[in-house]
Chain A
Amino acid sequence: MTTVFIAFLLNFVVLFLIYVIFVLGLNIQWGQAGILNFGLVAFAMLGAYITGILMFHPTASSIMQVGLGLPFLVAFPIAVAVTGVIAWFISPIVKFGLEELAIITLAFAVLVHIVTDNEAWLTGGTTGLMITSNLNDRLDVLTYNLAFVGILLVVALAVYYFTRTLNFSQFGRILNAIRLDELKAKSLGIDAVSYRMKAFVIGSVIVAIGGSLYLYFVVRTVPDLFPVDLTFILWIALLLGGSGNNRGAVLGMGIYMLLDMLARLYLNIPAHPEVGAGLKYVVTGLLLVVVIVRRPEGILGPRRSKYGG
């Protein structure tokens, strides 16, 4: 096994862990609270870009003109907090019906995309944003990837532990009740709107954490790295593994990443790069259709509870 191959594998593991964080955030919004958020990728993008802007060192000749040059450990919590505040401002939309919610969140994601594409002074536009990272400068590829596997493992486990605790707590139980029958829950004295708003914000914050770490890892990003369609890859991973189920989320993401890695290794036709890239989405789409038609509850089934059922 060459060093390059190991580095490649580690790269995949890092991405897998970041995507797991994304899916766990989605699971809170959709699997536990029943909120249809088609614009999830926007929050990852916000987490990434705000971190990037805070870390950037603007110069006279750079396209981007804002930046505070902060170190990652300072930029990270600020970026996540700011994204949380933005999510909180948007969260009243949970009052709307599911389809309306889907459309509005999709519109939000497109809007974020338009802004990042066009406001180059803020985000670097389509040329992209690049931060200076001490880790990146000093370490070789293998050690760098290894370090990030370590960091991401810690964060992913922490997020997993958090979502798991939430799931089994009274808060999670109430969210589930609201998802199953909102009217009944309200008749029992539960302020459904308030709970769903909180779930929306929590999920968005988790996704922003993933986005921020992603930027720190790849160091250089462009808006196209957060395509709107990415939300649906996360969806299919969640639906495949079992929505509402945290273990299912991880399993689904694992299956997906495995398929992606195999495609990259074995389906790479040099003359036709579009086959590999396009196939990923075609298979995602097919899987989505098949899962919804045949087995909507996924492989592992829905949310688990302490009391059976």
Chain B
Amino acid sequence: MVDREVRTILRCEHLSRSFGATKAIDDCSLEVQEGTITSIIGPNGAGKTTLFNLIGGFLRPDSGEIYFRDRDVTVLCRGCKCHVLAKIGIAQSFQAPRGFGEMTIMESLMVPPPLANDNTLFSTLKLLISKKDTSCEVREKRALDMLSGIGLEGKRNDRLLDQDAGTQKLVELAQILLLDPSLFLLDEPLAGVSRNKVPLILNYIKGLRDKGKTIVMIEHKMEPVLNISDVIHVLVNGKVLASGSPEEIREDQRVKEAYLGVSHAGT
């Protein structure tokens, strides 16, 4: 193990969010260290996806603060400025695969910015005059490199909609990676993925961690979670019930009670 200076990349303090009378997130605080794979687990309805939505800027927190690399980003989250959060290095993937279904795989990888300034109106006007679209060529190369990296080069002209869940998740991961974020928020990256594709995605995630990226993921499949996570937080009723290494969590009595006998070795 390389000796790295461990820094906190994400810190949530006393987050709360209610929907009507239901308190989905109730005074929740947690920390995520840089360069780790942190998993958030918990029974259904514990508020895991809500927590992600708060951090990612899709929902406003009722109270509490969020710090990204010691920088207070709560204002951004309140303003639902997800695109700014993406620019400073937080990227999110979603539970149900989202990614411009009607586009082909190739084209959906051409979408993510940033790349020079080729997405402005001005550069489009320049296109009118010069037929050669250099930035487009750069984008194409980038997308193709990514595609061969995940082994989908042959499918690049197929529609996203027509692919199975595993492929769609992979493409989504690739899209996010093109943003070169520091923090990945992955909401159930293995949901709906067939058994034989699961190791592929897990290896991909491990590879990201080894490159210094931080991954926070929500997952229900216990075996992979226990296998690859560095840290696990257990979320119950909108609060963190327990945190620790996989071994510690596995033995934790409270966690076992909270899950009411969910087996570890299942999907």
Contact = CB atoms under 8 A, between A and B. Distances in A.
Interface string B102-138: 1110111011111000111101100110000101100
A189 B128 contact: no
Interface string A187-207: 111111000001000100000
Contact of B127 (A165, A181, A190): A165
A187 B95 CA distance: 14
- Interface range on chain A: under 10, 10 to 19, 20 to 34, or 35 or more? 20 to 34
Given A171-B120, A308-B157, A181 B99 contact: yes
Given A170-B139, A177-B100, A180-B100, A189 B107 contact: no
A170 B135 contact: yes
Nearest to A307: B107
A189 B195 CA distance: 32
Contacts of A162: 128
A189 B86 contact: yes
Question: Which interface residue of A165, A174, A176, A309 has the most chain B CB atoms within 10 A?
Answer: A309
Contacts of A188: 83, 86, 91, 111-113, 175-176, 179
B159 interface: yes
B82 interface: yes
A187 B128 contact: no
Nearest to A166: B124
Interface in B160-194: 175-176, 179
Contacts of A181: 98-101
Contacts of A202: 121
A187 B92 contact: yes
A170 B118 contact: yes
B157 A302 contact: no
A307 B110 contact: yes
Contact of A180 (B86, B101, B128): B101
Nearest to B82: A186
B83 A189 contact: yes
B83 A190 contact: yes
Interface in A156-186: 161-162, 165-166, 169-174, 176-177, 180-181, 183-186
Interface residues of B, number: 42
A169 B119 CA distance: 8
Interface string A277-309: 000000000000000000000000010011111
Chief secondary structure at chain A's binding surface: helix
Contact of A307 (B113, B120, B123, B157): B157
A189 B179 CA distance: 8
Contact of B82 (A187, A198, A306): A187
Nearest to A191: B83
Interface in A90-131: none
Contacts of B157: 307-309
B121 A309 contact: no
B216 to A, nearest CB: 15
A145 B103 CA distance: 44
A303 to B, nearest CB: 9
A309 to B, nearest CB: 4
B67 interface: no
B204 interface: no
A166 B86 CA distance: 25
Contacts of A305: 103-104, 107
Contacts of A176: 100, 103
B86 A187 contact: yes
28 contacts: A165-B124, A165-B128, A169-B118, A169-B133, A170-B110, A171-B123, A176-B100, A181-B98, A183-B82, A184-B98, A187-B58, A187-B83, A187-B94, A188-B83, A188-B86, A188-B91, A188-B111, A188-B112, A188-B175, A188-B176, A188-B179, A189-B112, A189-B114, A190-B111, A192-B83, A306-B107, A307-B106, A309-B159
